[in-house]
A and B are shown apart, each in its own frame.
Chain A
Amino acid sequence: MPADHIERLRREGRIVIVGASLAGLRAAETLRAEGFAGDLTLIGDEPHEPYDRPPLSKSALLGVASPLRTQLPRRREIDAKWRLGVAATGLDLAAKRVRLADGDEVEYDRLLIATGVRARPWFKEEEARLDGVCVLRTREDAADLARRLRAGPRRVFVIGAGFAGSEVASACREMGLPVSMAERAGAPLVGALGGVVGSVAADLATEHGVDLRTHVTVTALEGDTVGRVRAVHLSDESVVEADVVVVSLGSLRNTEWLTGSGLGAGPRGVACDAGCRAFDFRGIVTDDVFVAGDVARSPHALFGYQFLSLEHWGNAVAQAETAAHNMICDGADRRPHLWMPAFWSSMFGVNIKSVGVPPMGEQLMITQGSLAERRFVGVYGHQGRIVAAVTFDNARWLEFYQRQIERGAPFPVEFPTLDRRPEGRQPVPAGFPDPSLPTHGPMVTLSGYSPADQQLVFHPSRH
């Protein structure tokens, strides 16, 4: 009986994919590749067919690629009905219907949620509207920023030194533009790779002429009389004049449209099982709603079944393929999503790549090369196991370390390597912020002796 049901679904079922980007497209292709012959609808809030985003913060800014021409190649015909330029606004789980912004409703037998994330905007709306204050997520964002950079601003200010912010700063320096970058932590990339590797990224940035300011937060963006941004105010009371400000403060998951639907969806994403089936808010798995890509949070067997949200290109592809496969088959044929987390970045001429989950590691060993040469392999350990590796211009070793992670190889790393230096013989603390301390909590203290002198002093958090 269930087999009949699946047969009918594959032959004449209705599948709706909400989110028409990398994960949505690859899921659609996989459904057709695996023999789904029913109705397929792709819904996307952007008016464009699926395009690739990684080039937007690299080649597109450097003029190697046009930000308006990064449409993803098709691996096969998908014969889908496209609903582009219209956002999904609601989900009725019981009636199996997706509500759209234009008032329409689309019914499904199986639903895939792949709505991804969006750029976190500057938190003061009025300042965010100043001309010259940019975010970088969509292709329009990239086209706008590329145009502003080509116009030769006097100074660019990047708020946030994560991967995207650092890539923008790198592109600016390559174009010869003066650029400042502010970071709340002590170095760039600290959240993703820890303080030890972050300090290498800090050296790279400053040596390439970036005015890097750490342990500070931006307190205000100042505009001129005609509404163009002209200066950035920092928590150390310094003021930097800049006519382009790039807000690079991470992302927000697109789950608001699921509010009230009964799914286990919120600011941290949509929770799902290892087979990409969404959980409802009671923690019970659904059987017809699946999740993939940046918006998904799924448990990973290799990392203690922790729920991981991975904003990784490769995760979007692999999770979409697994979700699509599982959507159109029976329980016993379903596969778990066991993709090894991996990402890349390039900045200041250095190729940075990682496998595993670095922020899980408490300790780090430099097993090849050296930090000083900016060419190394760093291995992260957690409770006696290797959980991640990062390379700076040493990517060919990653496959080897990926297998070590998959096999639960011991940490500290025991095997000898050819070019291990003294600094790599003992593990060191990796330098991630203490997760028990609030990262956003600045302190305010009183100073001054007499009540008349007393002033509030603002201290940003120190990690």
Chain B
Amino acid sequence: MRLVVDLNKCQGYAQCAFLAPDVFAMHGEESLLYDPRPEEEQRERVARAVAACPVRAITADGLDRAGASQGASDAR
């Protein structure tokens, strides 16, 4: 599973940090730090964070099985 946050869009609502605290963390009052390659067991939480972001700033792949195999087949 890989993810990226469009930090131009991100406005620091911190919904992701609330829903998946091991992946997303606020750094200071407004800036966001995140792990772009979270562990598999975070899948469910990341999916919820992606859905909950008010500005749709998070893109993740591999959130479902089909997506996971997609990344692999494109690797080379």
A80, B74: Cβ atoms under 8 Å?
yes
* A64 CB contact (under 8 Å) in B7, B30, B34, B60: B34
A73, B74: Cβ atoms under 8 Å?
no
Chain A residue contacts of B33, Cβ below 8 A = 58-59, 62, 64-65
Q: How does the 8 Å CB contact mask read for A336-357 relative to B, with 1 for contact and 0 for none?
A: 0000001110100111010000
Chain A residue contacts of B74, Cβ below 8 A = 49, 74, 77-80, 82
B8, A351: Cβ atoms under 8 Å?
no
A351, B62: Cβ atoms under 8 Å?
no
A73, B34: Cβ atoms under 8 Å?
no
| Given contact pairs A72-B2, A314-B6, A314-B8, A77 touches B36 in the complex (Cβ within 8 A) | no
Chain A residue contacts of B37, Cβ below 8 A = 65-66, 69-71
Interchain nearest-CB distance for A457 vs B (Å)? 43
Q: Answer whether residue B4 sits at the interface, using C-beta atoms and an 8 A cutoff.
A: yes
A69, B30: Cβ atoms under 8 Å?
no
A65 to B73, CA, bound (A): 24
Looking across the interface, which residue of chain B has its beta carbon closest to that of A70?
Answer: B36
Q: 8 Å CB contacts to A: which residues of B2-61?
A: 2-4, 6-8, 10-12, 25, 27-31, 33-37, 59-61
Chain A residue contacts of B2, Cβ below 8 A = 71-74
Q: Answer whether residue A393 sits at the interface, using C-beta atoms and an 8 A cutoff.
A: yes
Q: Answer whether residue A84 sits at the interface, using C-beta atoms and an 8 A cutoff.
A: yes
B29, A393: Cβ atoms under 8 Å?
yes
B31, A351: Cβ atoms under 8 Å?
yes
* A74 CB contact (under 8 Å) in B7, B10, B31, B70: B70
B28, A351: Cβ atoms under 8 Å?
yes
Chain A residue contacts of B70, Cβ below 8 A = 74, 76-77
* A73 CB contact (under 8 Å) in B3, B12, B27, B35: B3
The interface centre, meaning the residue of B10, B27, B60, B75 with most chain A CB atoms within 10 A of its CB, is: B27
A346, B27: Cβ atoms under 8 Å?
yes
Chain B residue contacts of A84, Cβ below 8 A = 76
Q: Answer whether residue A282 sits at the interface, using C-beta atoms and an 8 A cutoff.
A: no
| Given contact pairs A313-B8, A342-B8, A350-B28, A65 touches B75 in the complex (Cβ within 8 A) | no
Chain A residue contacts of B62, Cβ below 8 A = 73
A73 to B57, CA, bound (A): 13
B29, A65: Cβ atoms under 8 Å?
no
A52, B28: Cβ atoms under 8 Å?
no
Chain B residue contacts of A342, Cβ below 8 A = 8
Q: Answer whether residue A55 sits at the interface, using C-beta atoms and an 8 A cutoff.
A: yes
Interchain nearest-CB distance for A319 vs B (Å)? 14
A393 to B4, CA, bound (A): 21
B8, A74: Cβ atoms under 8 Å?
no
| Given contact pairs A74-B71, A393-B28, A395-B30, A52 touches B8 in the complex (Cβ within 8 A) | no
Chain B residue contacts of A124, Cβ below 8 A = none
Interchain nearest-CB distance for B2 vs A (Å)? 4
Q: Answer whether residue A90 sits at the interface, using C-beta atoms and an 8 A cutoff.
A: no
A75, B61: Cβ atoms under 8 Å?
yes
Chain A residue contacts of B27, Cβ below 8 A = 346, 349
B59, A73: Cβ atoms under 8 Å?
yes
Looking across the interface, which residue of chain B has its beta carbon closest to that of A344?
Answer: B7
Looking across the interface, which residue of chain A has its beta carbon closest to that of B2?
Answer: A73
A49 to B37, CA, bound (A): 14
Instruction: Please list 12 pairs of residues, one from A and one from B, whose beta carbons are closer than 8 Å in the complex, sorted by A's number.
Output: A59-B34, A62-B33, A64-B33, A64-B34, A65-B37, A71-B2, A72-B4, A74-B2, A344-B7, A346-B31, A350-B30, A393-B28
19 more A-B residue pairs beyond the given contacts A54-B7, A342-B8, A346-B27, with a C-beta to C-beta distance below 8 A: A52-B4, A52-B36, A59-B35, A64-B25, A65-B34, A66-B37, A69-B37, A70-B36, A72-B4, A73-B60, A73-B61, A74-B70, A77-B73, A82-B74, A313-B6, A313-B7, A346-B28, A351-B29, A393-B30
**Chain B contact residues, CB within 8 Å of chain A:** 2-4, 6-8, 10-12, 25, 27-31, 33-37, 59-62, 67, 70-71, 73-76
List 9 A-B pairs, minimum CB-CB distance, nearest first.
Answer: A349-B28, A346-B31, A351-B30, A69-B37, A73-B61, A351-B31, A73-B2, A314-B8, A344-B7
